[in-house]
Amino acid sequence: MSALFEPYTLRSLVIPNRVWMAPMCQYSAEPVGPNTGVATDWHFAHLAARAVGGTGLVLTEATAVGPEGRISPADLGIWNDVQVAGLRRITDFLKSQGSVPGIQLAHAGRKGSTAAPWLGGGPVGPDEHGWTPVAPSPLPFDDGYPVPHELTADEIQDIVGEFREAARRALDAGFEVAEVHGAHGYLIGQFLSPHSNRRTDEYGGCFENRIRFALQVVDAVREVWPDGLPVFFRVSATDWLTENDQDEREGWTVDETVRLAVELRAHGVDLLDVSSGGNAPRARIETAPGYQVPFAERVRSQTSLPVAAVGLITEPQQAEKIITEGRADAVLLGRELLRNPSWAQYAARRLGAELRRPEQYLRAV
């Protein structure tokens, strides 16, 4: 039996294998009108194909907890019941194929109100359905980006409430895993990092203050999420900033990620989804196959929190080795699943594992 295709249990939820789909934005929802943020046929086909292909856990793209939480005007949302109905159609199908449906709950913060990547990806204004982004501090993400509105303490609590209500709606939509998006320089990650958080109140300064918002969001989600179902947290293990980076304030570090993991476990998080980067646009990142796996491995070895590894994991034997060597409890595939929706089926054949196939596709065995 391949370790990659062994079931994995978190609380009372059994995920059929360790091949999981990482959240990947599609920028394909309606940007304005009654169907703003509602899942379309594209989202259904995109997510359904990976379930048909044998992926054990299928996570949606970053799904905004409020209109100002979107990365782009064309992002998915889960702040109203119309959006819930569109997502329920997807979760019903994923479950029918034996996959576990998961949702990533997100707020983009200062990286919000931007165009889709194929439209340039830069900031958009009100004439293009944009808005004024918000952040822990009035620091633009990069040159050419607007100065974000600095959140007040009351506004921070409003967003905590948006995460709580989004989690409640996610449960109504049929999701079985809720992932809080604290990575890639979006709002929670902006609070975590001294690179983007210059506050002097209870949400800024020392480590305990910078993680306060993240823990409050986790508490809000856990408050409405069933005890038998898991909550994940996605983190950027490092901002990839060093003291030698000119004009760059010190960033979030791997040491702080380990400390955060301990706190997250105490607040009811069941697994850390370990990525990196995204908060500093000119950080120097050296990529290679599995380049982020050591971050996940360190968290797993130094804390009791399970982890999933991500980042240029492309080959079945590579993924199998990550699991068998105890470096992570599961692997998350992004671009590789865009290239091959049936990667799990391909990997099972290569590793000699048994994996359920839809009856309609049995002739391909």
Would you state the pLDDT for residue 250? 84
CA 155 centroid distance within chain: 23
Output phi, psi for 284, to 5 deg: -95, 110
How far apart are the C-alpha atoms of 261 and 324, rounded to whole Å?
22
Residue 123: both structure tokens together = 């900031």
**51 burial via Cβ count (<10 Å: 0-12, 13-18, 19+):** buried
Would you state the pLDDT for residue 246? 47
Closest Cα to residue 156, out of 209, 94, 195, 224? 209
Would you state the pLDDT for residue 74? 97
Domains of the chain: total: 1
Residue 208: both structure tokens together = 């305990």
Would you state the pLDDT for residue 245? 52
Q: Strands 8-10 and 100-106: what pairing?
A: unpaired
Q: What is the CATH number of the domain that holds 99?
A: 3.20.20.70
**Interacting residues of 249 by C-beta distance below 8 A, sequence separation 6+:** 194, 195, 241
- Catalytic site positions: 186
Average pLDDT, consecutive stretches of 10 residues, N- to C-terminus, the chain (365 residues): 96 98 97 96 98 98 98 98 97 98 98 96 94 98 96 98 98 98 98 97 97 98 98 97 60 96 98 96 91 97 96 97 98 97 96 90 83
Would you state the pLDDT for residue 282? 87
Q: Are 180 and 273 in contact (CB under 8 A)?
A: no
- Residue showing tokens 């934005």: 25
What domain range is 308 assigned to? 3-364
**Cα–Cα–Cα angle for 74, 78, 82, rounded to 5 degrees:** 90
